[in-house]
Amino acid sequence: MKSNTILTPSNLSEDLRLQIAYDTLLKPSGLEIGSLQKVLGDMMSHDIDYADLYFQYSRSESWGLEEGQVKSGNFSIDQGVGVRAVTGEKTAFAYSDDINLPALVESANVTRAIANKGTEKSIKTASQSGPRNLYLPNDPILSLKSESKVALLERLENFARKTDPRITQVMASIAGEYEVIMVARHDGLVAADVRPLVRVSIQVIAESNGRREQGSSGGGGRFDYSYFTDEVLEDYAKKAVHQALTNLDAQPAPAGSMTVVLGAGWPGILLHEAIGHGLEGDFNRKGSSAFSNRIGQRVAAKGLTVVDDGTITNRRGSLNVDDEGNPTERTVLIEDGILRGYLQDSLNSRLMGMPITGNARRESYAHSPMPRMTNTYMLNGDLPPEEIIKSVKKGLYAANFGGGQVDITSGKFVFSAAEAWMIEDGKLAYPVKGATLIGNGPDVLTRVTMIGNDMALDSGVGTCGKEGQSVPVGVGQPTLKIEGLTVGGTA
């Protein structure tokens, strides 16, 4: 590629990502692709079903600003390789933070402990439908000088303070990550990805008449810091201030069973936590999910469709390839209320006899992959959100969510509303504070009675935890009306 060529996703080639990965991960240690295949061949000679090597280099930073001063700053570099062997349901995994041939061989020797004895091998691999170019392989950390990153946070703080005099405290942060990965598999596949990731967050404190409330906002995705224009930063600031000022006027939330309307966008985190995890292949293979053995059955209200899509350009949860080297996909999980499928990695798809969906993910080279969500959201209905609110005689409107807790296997959840309003006679009457939503994910799916036409994805802030591993994800949904949801309140 000529030096004066402008790099865009449309002219980006998979060869470029492979070259970057080779130069970053293998070349410094004198490793060649042939060396990797020899290590994998030696592992497969011990009669195992599947083997792969996962190389990773990551560089990350974060800056925190409070009261106009930089209060925190972190920078880290990490690299290593994970070696995995699979036979039947058993997985052997070892890793090293040294990328060199002796470390590879030593780690591979550890995995041979699960050598199989005569099991028939049947490995399904995802179709290689061509390279994905969902984001540019740019290093966001190098996209802005240090003093400019501090200036960005100062502008964000000023946008919040000038919005309203009741804002007494502002905390802003910026974070960036540059990650290069390479996967080499026993079947000869070698895949690579270069993954940028950035995020800006703001939290404000508002005070009035002796009362203090907080609000927060932010966003990001797989691009560099140039995304955060003054227009974007001002929007984040206004949303955080709006939330804090709304809560200043909020009354105690009532408790009981009532009609609840969920706002579009980030409230889809309820869908992700209470439903999405139950659709991951490992829980269903083990029979511990409420959705186990229910493909083809009605599990949700008619008109409700849920997808997981790792192929959306620049989104926080998107990947060109998953952490087994398979291309990500748009997977329909629930269609018009009928369960259609699960999210799969290679191990669980093989054992369940189902296709790989490109959902193998891991936090780092020091972790073994498992089926995880990417960007999980509900598709649009056909109703304007104003009509949904107008249909409620008395109920709760949860415009935005805070934290929550979920039992992944049962789907039971408790979520707190960061911004909520009481609905009376079809109108937003007054804001309330202290509202929590309590229920069961599979049950909630059947209680959806109206679906809006305003589907929105979150602004790019989600991180999902599972079995001690955290990965970036996206969520989304349109406005939803749910009947008979339990609300915990403080009134």
CB 372 within 8 A of CB 361: yes
Residue 94 Cα distances to 80, 105, 108, 161, 390, angstroms: 11, 11, 7, 50, 57
* Beta strands at 427-433 and 251-252: parallel, antiparallel or unpaired: parallel
How far, in Å, CA of 99 to CA of 71, rounded? 35
Ramachandran region, residue 158 (left: φ > 0; alpha: ψ -120 to 50; beta: rest): alpha
Task: Output the pLDDT for position 273.
Answer: 86
pTM of the model: 0.93
230-248 vs 146-163: helix crossing angle, rounded to 10: 40
Paired tokens of 475: 């969520």
Q: Which residue is it, tokens 């659709």?
A: 279
pLDDT along the chain (491 residues), means of 10: 45 79 96 94 89 97 93 94 93 94 92 59 44 90 96 97 96 98 96 97 96 96 98 98 96 96 95 91 94 96 97 98 97 98 96 96 97 98 98 97 80 92 98 95 94 98 94 98 94 75
Single-letter amino acid, residue 118: G
Q: How far apart are CA 479 and CA 450, in angstroms?
A: 8
Contacts of 361 (CB under 8 A, 6+ apart): 319, 322, 323, 369, 370, 371, 372, 374, 469, 471
pLDDT at 116: 56
β strands within 250-362, DSSP E: 251-252, 256-262, 306-309, 330-335, 338-339, 360-361
Query: How does strand 469-477 pair with strand 375-378?
Result: parallel
Answer positive or negative: Cα dihedral of 261, 266, 271, 274. negative
Beta-carbon count within 10 A of 405 CB? 11
